[in-house]
Amino acid sequence: MHGTVTVLDRGAVRIHSYMSPADTFHVTTQLIETPARVVAIDAQLLPAYADEVVAYAGGLGKPLDRLVITHAHPDHYNGAARFGVPVHALARVREQIAARGDSRLPTGEVIAATDFTPTVELTPGAEVVDGVTVVFEAVSGGEAADELLVRLPEQGVLVAQDLVYNDVHLYLGNNDIAGWRRAVDALAAEPGYDTVLAGHGLPTGPEVYERVRRYLADAGELLGDDGETYKKAIVDRYPSHAGPFIIDIANRSLFPTGS
């Protein structure tokens, strides 16, 4: 396996957090294992890494129930077809994914939009899965226009996905630093969650909120009118962060005429 799996044992629930290698900026898929089934959250950028997740899930000896896509960025949905289960998403996220159309991998391979566009509309609220309460919550603004939070309140686990990165450079292409800071502030103000699952990087704790806020503040300070200058400045400030090429991807949106 090229990716890394971290297992969190919370009694009736085990969470298996698959983190891809650095070549896809440590994007994560979360597998929530309940007593009788497995729910997957997000699907990886490369189908090969999605295949690793599916193979690992198969080894758990329980059926894969569904795949939930949290937001409309290809690194979280490209591999959806590999899971072979219904794909769930918020209505707005489904619309945004469909609007993006086919996805082109770094290799040049094209994945048809029909392979990953969600087919099941997810309604925010609480659901009981095998006796485990799972809360789905919609968030607007931040890393993406619309995102889904998944809470396991009884286990103290928050699946924040791309509202939180852990030691990986942030994707700022949505150009909404203020909205992202507001979302992180709201999460930081909530008690009861001692484990935070990031969309990029290893599982962490509430201390990650301050690190994300600091990065966002620094990015706001350093952003000017030149993408290459910004990239050098933010990489110099965070030299140990993974995924500096995610800055290049974001810069195409932030500086469309210059970077």
pLDDT digits (tens, 9 = 90+) for 141-194: 999 999 999 999 999 999 999 999 999 999 999 999 999 999 999 999 999 999
| Dist CA 159 CA 142 (whole Å) | 16
Residue 187: closest CA among 158, 216, 219, 153: 158
Per-residue pLDDT tens over the stretch 117-128: 999 999 999 999
One-letter identity of residue 128: V
pTM of the predicted structure, to 2 decimals: 0.96
**Domains assigned to the chain:** 4-121+129-254 (3.60.15.10)
